[in-house]
Structure 1
Amino acid sequence: MRILLNIIWLIFGGLWLALGYFVAGVICCILIITIPFGIASFRIGVYALWPFGKTVVSKPTSGLGSLIGNVIWLVLCGIWLAIGHVVSAVAMAITIIGIPLAIANLKMVPISLMPLGKDIVDVGSTPSYPASYGS
Protein backbone atom coordinates (compact mmCIF):
# COMPACT_ATOMS: atom_id res chain seq x y z
CA MET A 1 0.00 0.00 0.00
CA ARG A 2 2.89 2.37 0.77
CA ILE A 3 4.30 1.93 -2.72
CA LEU A 4 0.94 2.75 -4.30
CA LEU A 5 0.51 5.83 -2.12
CA ASN A 6 4.07 6.95 -2.89
CA ILE A 7 3.49 6.61 -6.64
CA ILE A 8 0.23 8.57 -6.46
CA TRP A 9 1.97 11.13 -4.26
CA LEU A 10 4.85 11.51 -6.71
CA ILE A 11 2.52 12.10 -9.64
CA PHE A 12 0.06 14.46 -7.96
CA GLY A 13 2.28 16.78 -6.00
CA GLY A 14 5.41 15.18 -4.59
CA LEU A 15 7.54 16.03 -7.59
CA TRP A 16 6.62 19.72 -7.44
CA LEU A 17 7.16 19.94 -3.69
CA ALA A 18 10.53 18.21 -4.00
CA LEU A 19 11.52 20.64 -6.74
CA GLY A 20 10.70 23.49 -4.35
CA TYR A 21 13.02 21.99 -1.75
CA PHE A 22 15.74 21.39 -4.32
CA VAL A 23 15.54 25.01 -5.56
CA ALA A 24 15.76 26.24 -1.96
CA GLY A 25 18.75 23.91 -1.44
CA VAL A 26 20.57 25.21 -4.49
CA ILE A 27 19.99 28.82 -3.43
CA CYS A 28 21.23 28.06 0.08
CA CYS A 29 24.33 26.29 -1.25
CA ILE A 30 25.19 29.22 -3.53
CA LEU A 31 25.32 31.46 -0.48
CA ILE A 32 28.25 29.74 1.21
CA ILE A 33 27.23 30.50 4.79
CA THR A 34 23.84 28.78 4.37
CA ILE A 35 25.17 25.41 3.15
CA PRO A 36 23.76 23.60 6.23
CA PHE A 37 20.33 24.86 5.19
CA GLY A 38 20.94 23.60 1.67
CA ILE A 39 21.83 20.14 2.94
CA ALA A 40 18.69 20.07 5.11
CA SER A 41 16.62 21.19 2.14
CA PHE A 42 17.98 18.42 -0.09
CA ARG A 43 17.31 15.85 2.66
CA ILE A 44 13.70 17.01 3.01
CA GLY A 45 13.35 17.17 -0.78
CA VAL A 46 14.14 13.46 -0.99
CA TYR A 47 11.60 12.87 1.80
CA ALA A 48 9.03 14.90 -0.17
CA LEU A 49 9.53 12.61 -3.17
CA TRP A 50 8.74 9.36 -1.31
CA PRO A 51 7.21 10.12 2.15
CA PHE A 52 5.12 7.06 2.95
CA GLY A 53 7.06 4.61 5.10
CA LYS A 54 9.23 7.38 6.57
CA THR A 55 8.88 9.43 9.73
CA VAL A 56 10.59 12.40 11.31
CA VAL A 57 12.29 12.14 14.71
CA SER A 58 14.13 14.73 16.77
CA LYS A 59 17.89 14.37 17.19
CA PRO A 60 18.85 14.21 20.84
CA THR A 61 22.01 16.20 20.10
CA SER A 62 20.33 19.27 18.64
CA GLY A 63 20.75 22.39 20.69
CA LEU A 64 20.99 26.15 20.48
CA GLY A 65 22.64 26.06 17.04
CA SER A 66 19.68 24.19 15.59
CA LEU A 67 17.27 26.64 17.21
CA ILE A 68 19.04 29.67 15.78
CA GLY A 69 19.36 27.98 12.38
CA ASN A 70 15.67 27.07 12.40
CA VAL A 71 14.69 30.70 13.05
CA ILE A 72 16.81 31.84 10.10
CA TRP A 73 15.42 28.99 7.94
CA LEU A 74 11.86 29.95 8.91
CA VAL A 75 12.36 33.49 7.63
CA LEU A 76 14.27 32.60 4.46
CA CYS A 77 12.58 29.42 3.18
CA GLY A 78 10.33 27.74 5.72
CA ILE A 79 7.26 29.93 5.36
CA TRP A 80 7.17 29.54 1.57
CA LEU A 81 7.66 25.78 1.66
CA ALA A 82 4.98 25.40 4.36
CA ILE A 83 2.56 27.46 2.26
CA GLY A 84 3.31 25.11 -0.64
CA HIS A 85 2.42 22.12 1.54
CA VAL A 86 -0.85 23.69 2.73
CA VAL A 87 -1.92 24.69 -0.78
CA SER A 88 -1.06 21.25 -2.09
CA ALA A 89 -2.94 19.60 0.81
CA VAL A 90 -6.07 21.61 0.08
CA ALA A 91 -5.90 20.66 -3.59
CA MET A 92 -5.37 16.98 -2.76
CA ALA A 93 -8.18 16.88 -0.18
CA ILE A 94 -10.81 17.66 -2.83
CA THR A 95 -11.05 13.98 -3.78
CA ILE A 96 -11.55 11.05 -1.44
CA ILE A 97 -8.45 9.31 -2.81
CA GLY A 98 -6.40 12.43 -2.13
CA ILE A 99 -7.27 12.68 1.58
CA PRO A 100 -4.35 10.45 2.75
CA LEU A 101 -2.05 12.52 0.55
CA ALA A 102 -3.39 15.75 2.05
CA ILE A 103 -2.78 14.40 5.55
CA ALA A 104 0.78 13.46 4.59
CA ASN A 105 1.26 16.97 3.22
CA LEU A 106 0.10 18.53 6.47
CA LYS A 107 2.45 16.22 8.42
CA MET A 108 5.35 17.69 6.43
CA VAL A 109 4.58 21.28 7.46
CA PRO A 110 6.49 21.12 10.81
CA ILE A 111 9.68 19.83 9.20
CA SER A 112 9.39 22.41 6.42
CA LEU A 113 9.26 25.12 9.08
CA MET A 114 11.95 23.75 11.42
CA PRO A 115 14.19 21.16 9.67
CA LEU A 116 17.39 21.41 11.69
CA GLY A 117 17.70 18.99 14.58
CA LYS A 118 15.48 16.40 12.87
CA ASP A 119 16.19 13.03 11.24
CA ILE A 120 14.10 11.25 8.63
CA VAL A 121 14.01 7.51 9.33
CA ASP A 122 12.10 4.47 8.13
CA VAL A 123 8.89 3.71 10.01
CA GLY A 124 9.57 1.06 12.62
CA SER A 125 13.29 1.77 12.85
CA THR A 126 15.03 3.92 15.39
CA PRO A 127 18.14 5.95 14.69
CA SER A 128 21.26 4.61 16.35
CA TYR A 129 22.88 7.30 18.44
CA PRO A 130 25.78 6.64 20.77
CA ALA A 131 24.65 5.67 24.28
CA SER A 132 26.18 8.80 25.79
CA TYR A 133 23.76 11.08 23.88
CA GLY A 134 20.72 10.04 25.91
CA SER A 135 22.41 10.43 29.29
Structure 2
Amino acid sequence: MTTLLNVIWLVLSGFWMFLGYMLVGALWCITIIGIPFGIASFRIGLYALWPFGRTIVPKPGAGAGSAIGNVLWFVLSGIWLAIGHAISGVALCLTIIGIPLGLASFKLIPISLFPLGKDIVRIDDLRAGYAAGPVVPPTQAR
Protein backbone atom coordinates (compact mmCIF):
# COMPACT_ATOMS: atom_id res chain seq x y z
CA MET A 1 0.00 0.00 0.00
CA THR A 2 2.88 2.34 0.79
CA THR A 3 4.33 1.90 -2.69
CA LEU A 4 0.97 2.52 -4.35
CA LEU A 5 0.47 5.73 -2.35
CA ASN A 6 4.00 6.87 -3.18
CA VAL A 7 3.49 6.29 -6.92
CA ILE A 8 0.18 8.20 -6.94
CA TRP A 9 1.79 10.93 -4.82
CA LEU A 10 4.74 11.15 -7.20
CA VAL A 11 2.46 11.84 -10.16
CA LEU A 12 0.01 14.23 -8.50
CA SER A 13 2.16 16.30 -6.16
CA GLY A 14 5.53 14.85 -5.23
CA PHE A 15 7.39 15.54 -8.44
CA TRP A 16 6.33 19.20 -8.53
CA MET A 17 7.26 19.83 -4.90
CA PHE A 18 10.53 17.97 -5.49
CA LEU A 19 11.35 20.39 -8.31
CA GLY A 20 10.56 23.32 -6.01
CA TYR A 21 12.92 22.02 -3.35
CA MET A 22 15.66 21.38 -5.92
CA LEU A 23 15.32 24.95 -7.24
CA VAL A 24 15.48 26.40 -3.73
CA GLY A 25 18.46 24.16 -2.90
CA ALA A 26 20.33 25.26 -6.01
CA LEU A 27 19.70 28.92 -5.17
CA TRP A 28 20.96 28.41 -1.60
CA CYS A 29 24.09 26.62 -2.86
CA ILE A 30 25.13 29.64 -4.93
CA THR A 31 26.57 31.18 -1.78
CA ILE A 32 29.02 29.45 0.53
CA ILE A 33 26.99 30.40 3.61
CA GLY A 34 23.85 28.90 2.06
CA ILE A 35 25.28 25.43 1.34
CA PRO A 36 23.91 23.85 4.56
CA PHE A 37 20.48 25.24 3.66
CA GLY A 38 20.81 23.88 0.14
CA ILE A 39 21.68 20.43 1.47
CA ALA A 40 18.66 20.57 3.78
CA SER A 41 16.50 21.53 0.81
CA PHE A 42 17.78 18.61 -1.26
CA ARG A 43 17.15 16.23 1.67
CA ILE A 44 13.58 17.43 2.14
CA GLY A 45 13.04 17.39 -1.63
CA LEU A 46 13.81 13.67 -1.69
CA TYR A 47 11.40 13.19 1.22
CA ALA A 48 8.73 15.19 -0.65
CA LEU A 49 9.28 12.95 -3.67
CA TRP A 50 8.56 9.68 -1.78
CA PRO A 51 7.08 10.47 1.70
CA PHE A 52 5.07 7.37 2.63
CA GLY A 53 7.00 4.94 4.82
CA ARG A 54 9.23 7.66 6.29
CA THR A 55 8.80 10.13 9.12
CA ILE A 56 10.47 13.13 10.74
CA VAL A 57 12.25 12.93 14.11
CA PRO A 58 14.21 15.53 16.08
CA LYS A 59 17.96 15.34 15.52
CA PRO A 60 19.87 14.79 18.76
CA GLY A 61 22.28 17.58 19.56
CA ALA A 62 20.64 20.25 17.39
CA GLY A 63 21.06 23.51 19.25
CA ALA A 64 21.08 27.25 18.84
CA GLY A 65 22.68 27.11 15.39
CA SER A 66 19.73 25.14 14.05
CA ALA A 67 17.29 27.57 15.64
CA ILE A 68 18.98 30.61 14.11
CA GLY A 69 19.26 28.86 10.75
CA ASN A 70 15.58 27.94 10.86
CA VAL A 71 14.63 31.61 11.27
CA LEU A 72 16.66 32.52 8.19
CA TRP A 73 15.23 29.55 6.26
CA PHE A 74 11.65 30.43 7.30
CA VAL A 75 11.91 33.97 5.96
CA LEU A 76 13.71 33.21 2.70
CA SER A 77 12.39 29.80 1.66
CA GLY A 78 10.24 28.00 4.19
CA ILE A 79 7.10 30.08 3.97
CA TRP A 80 6.96 29.72 0.17
CA LEU A 81 7.46 25.96 0.22
CA ALA A 82 4.87 25.62 3.01
CA ILE A 83 2.37 27.57 0.90
CA GLY A 84 3.03 25.13 -1.95
CA HIS A 85 2.32 22.19 0.36
CA ALA A 86 -0.83 23.83 1.71
CA ILE A 87 -2.21 24.54 -1.78
CA SER A 88 -1.44 21.04 -3.03
CA GLY A 89 -2.88 19.55 0.17
CA VAL A 90 -6.17 21.38 -0.24
CA ALA A 91 -6.35 20.44 -3.92
CA LEU A 92 -5.69 16.78 -3.13
CA CYS A 93 -8.30 16.72 -0.36
CA LEU A 94 -11.04 17.73 -2.81
CA THR A 95 -11.47 14.08 -3.77
CA ILE A 96 -12.00 11.14 -1.45
CA ILE A 97 -9.13 9.20 -3.02
CA GLY A 98 -6.81 12.20 -2.60
CA ILE A 99 -7.43 12.70 1.14
CA PRO A 100 -4.47 10.53 2.31
CA LEU A 101 -2.26 12.38 -0.16
CA GLY A 102 -3.52 15.75 1.02
CA LEU A 103 -2.81 14.76 4.62
CA ALA A 104 0.72 13.77 3.59
CA SER A 105 1.14 17.19 2.01
CA PHE A 106 0.03 18.84 5.26
CA LYS A 107 2.48 16.58 7.15
CA LEU A 108 5.32 18.13 5.13
CA ILE A 109 4.49 21.71 6.15
CA PRO A 110 6.34 21.70 9.52
CA ILE A 111 9.59 20.40 8.03
CA SER A 112 9.31 22.79 5.10
CA LEU A 113 9.11 25.66 7.59
CA PHE A 114 11.84 24.51 10.02
CA PRO A 115 14.08 21.81 8.46
CA LEU A 116 17.24 22.21 10.51
CA GLY A 117 17.50 20.01 13.57
CA LYS A 118 15.30 17.28 12.06
CA ASP A 119 16.10 13.88 10.58
CA ILE A 120 14.07 11.89 8.07
CA VAL A 121 14.02 8.19 8.92
CA ARG A 122 12.26 5.09 7.63
CA ILE A 123 9.37 4.07 9.85
CA ASP A 124 10.66 0.48 9.87
CA ASP A 125 14.02 1.66 11.28
CA LEU A 126 12.23 3.70 13.92
CA ARG A 127 10.11 0.72 14.99
CA ALA A 128 13.20 -1.52 15.12
CA GLY A 129 14.93 1.03 17.35
CA TYR A 130 11.99 1.10 19.76
CA ALA A 131 11.77 -2.69 19.82
CA ALA A 132 15.44 -2.96 20.82
CA GLY A 133 14.80 -0.87 23.93
CA PRO A 134 16.81 2.01 25.36
CA VAL A 135 20.54 2.04 24.85
CA VAL A 136 22.45 2.41 28.11
CA PRO A 137 25.89 3.99 27.80
CA PRO A 138 28.69 1.77 29.16
CA THR A 139 29.50 4.29 31.92
CA GLN A 140 25.99 3.96 33.35
CA ALA A 141 25.65 0.18 33.02
CA ARG A 142 26.23 -1.67 36.31
> Same fold, TM exceeding 0.5?
yes
Partner residue, 2:115: 115
Aligned length: 132
Q: Secondary structure at the match of 1:96?
A: coil
Q: Percent identity?
A: 61
Match of 1:13 in 2: 13
Superposed counterparts of 1:1-135, under 5 Å: 1-126=1-126
- Name the Cα RMSD after superposition: 1.8
- What amino acid does structure 2 have at the position aligned with 1:113? L
Describe the shift of the 1:65–1:131 C-alpha distance in structure 2 as closer, same or farther (beyond 3 A): farther
1:29-50 CA distance string (max 9 Å, x none): 0122110000000000000000
Report the Cα distance in structure 2 between the residues aligned to 1:131 and 1:11, rounded to whole angstroms.
44
1:131 Cα shift? 6.9
Structure 1 unpaired stretches of 5+ = none
Structure 2 counterpart of 1:97, one-letter code: I
Deviations 1:69-116 (A, max 9, x none): 000000010000000000000110111010000000000000000000
Provide the residue aligned with 2:132 in structure 1: none
The list of structure 1 runs, each at least 4 consecutive aligned residues, that deviate by more than 3 angstroms after superposition, is: none
Could you list the runs of 5+ residues in structure 2 that have no partner in the other structure? Answer: 130-134
Query: Partner amino acid for 1:8?
Result: I
- Partner of 1:30, secondary structure, is coil
